[in-house]
Chain A
Amino acid sequence: MSLILRVDDLGVAIGAVKPLSGVSFSLDKGETLGIVGESGSGKSLTAMTIMGLLPLIGGRVTTGSIMFDGSELADLPETAYRKLRGGRIGLITQNPMTSLDPLRKIGPQVDVVARLHLGLDKRAARARTVELLGDLRIPEPASIYYLYPHQLSGGMKQRIVIAMALAADPDLLIADEPTTALDVTVQAQIIRLLLDLVTARNLSLVLITHDMSVVAQTCDKVVVMYAGRAIERGAVSAIFDRPRHPYTQALIGCIPRGLTVTEPLKSIEGTVPSVAHYPSGCPFHPRCPRAEDICATEPPSFVQDRDSAAACHFAMAAAQ
Chain B
Amino acid sequence: MSAFSFGGSADTRVQNGSGMLLRYTFRRLLMLIPVSISISVVIFMIVHLLPGDPIDNLIRVGSSPEARERLATKYGLDRPLITQYFVWMGNMFRGDFGQAIVLRRPVSDLIMQNLPFSLTLGGLAFAFSSVVGMTLGTISAVVRNPILERFVRGFILLGSTVPGFWLALLLILLFSVTLGWLPVSGAKTWSALVLPVLTIGFGGIALVARVTRVALIDVRHEDFVTLLHAKGLSRSAILFRHLLPHALVPVVTILALRIGWILGGAVTAEFVFGRPGLGSLLIRALGQRDFPVIQGSMLMLALAVMLGTLIGDILQAAMDPRIREASK
| Interface set of A (CB-CB < 8 Å, partner B) | 48, 51, 53, 56, 82-87, 90-91, 93-95, 98-104, 112-113, 116-117, 137, 139-140, 143-144, 146-148, 150-156, 161, 164-165, 183, 185-186, 189, 192
Q: Contacts A103-B246, A137-B1, A189-B1; is A116 near B232 (CB within 8 Å)?
A: yes
Write out, one digit per residue, whether chain B residues 255-270 have a CB within 8 A of any chain A CB (1) or not (0): 0000000000000000
Q: How far is the CB of A214 from chain B (nearest CB, A)?
A: 18
Are the C-beta atoms of B10 and A140 separated by less than 8 Å?
yes
B327 interface residue, CB < 8 Å from A? no
B18 interface residue, CB < 8 Å from A? no
Q: How far is the CB of A237 from chain B (nearest CB, A)?
A: 28
B6 interface residue, CB < 8 Å from A? yes
CA distance A296 to B29 in the complex (A): 72
- With a 10 A CB-CB cut-off, give which of A93, A151, A183 has the most chain B CB atoms: A151
Residue of A nearest to B231 (CB): A86
Q: Which residues of A contact B90 (CB under 8 A)?
A: none
Chain B: interface size category: 20 to 34
Residue of B nearest to A88 (CB): B232
Q: Which residues of B contact A104 (CB under 8 A)?
A: 242
Q: Contacts A86-B230, A147-B10; is A101 near B224 (CB within 8 Å)?
A: yes
Please give 18 more A-B residue pairs, beta carbons under 8 A apart, in addition to A53-B229, A94-B223, A147-B13.
A51-B229, A53-B230, A56-B229, A82-B234, A90-B230, A93-B227, A99-B223, A100-B224, A103-B319, A103-B321, A116-B231, A116-B233, A117-B232, A151-B13, A153-B5, A156-B4, A156-B6, A185-B5
Contact of A112 among B222, B226, B229, B233 (CB under 8 A): B233
Are the C-beta atoms of A150 and B322 separated by less than 8 Å?
yes
B163 interface residue, CB < 8 Å from A? no
CA distance A225 to B234 in the complex (A): 32
Residue of A nearest to B234 (CB): A82
Are the C-beta atoms of B321 and A99 separated by less than 8 Å?
no
Contact of B222 among A98, A140, A144, A185 (CB under 8 A): A98
| Interface set of B (CB-CB < 8 Å, partner A) | 1, 3-7, 9-11, 13-14, 222-224, 226-234, 242, 245-246, 319-322, 325
Are the C-beta atoms of A139 and B321 separated by less than 8 Å?
no
Are the C-beta atoms of A101 and B5 separated by less than 8 Å?
no
Are the C-beta atoms of A95 and B223 separated by less than 8 Å?
yes
Contact of B231 among A56, A85, A98, A151 (CB under 8 A): A85
Q: Contacts A147-B13, A150-B321; is A91 near B227 (CB within 8 Å)?
A: yes
Are the C-beta atoms of A83 and B232 separated by less than 8 Å?
yes
CA distance A81 to B11 in the complex (A): 40
Are the C-beta atoms of A93 and B223 separated by less than 8 Å?
yes
Residue of A nearest to B322 (CB): A150
Q: Which residues of B contact A146 (CB under 8 A)?
A: 14
Contact of A85 among B5, B14, B223, B229 (CB under 8 A): B229
Are the C-beta atoms of A139 and B4 separated by less than 8 Å?
yes
CB pairs A–B below 8 angstroms (8 shown)? A51-B229, A82-B232, A84-B232, A98-B224, A116-B232, A148-B322, A151-B13, A164-B231
CA distance A101 to B249 in the complex (A): 14
CA distance A53 to B223 in the complex (A): 12
CA distance A42 to B6 in the complex (A): 33
Are the C-beta atoms of A192 and B224 separated by less than 8 Å?
no
Are the C-beta atoms of A87 and B232 separated by less than 8 Å?
yes
CA distance A267 to B282 in the complex (A): 76
CA distance A95 to B223 in the complex (A): 8
Q: Which residues of B contact A90 (CB under 8 A)?
A: 230
Residue of A nearest to B325 (CB): A150
Q: How far is the CB of B239 from chain A (nearest CB, A)?
A: 13
Are the C-beta atoms of A51 and B230 separated by less than 8 Å?
yes
Q: Which residues of A contact B234 (CB under 8 A)?
A: 82
Contact of A161 among B222, B227, B320 (CB under 8 A): B227
Are the C-beta atoms of A139 and B6 separated by less than 8 Å?
yes
Q: Which residues of A contact B228 (CB under 8 A)?
A: 101
Q: Which residues of B contact A137 (CB under 8 A)?
A: 1
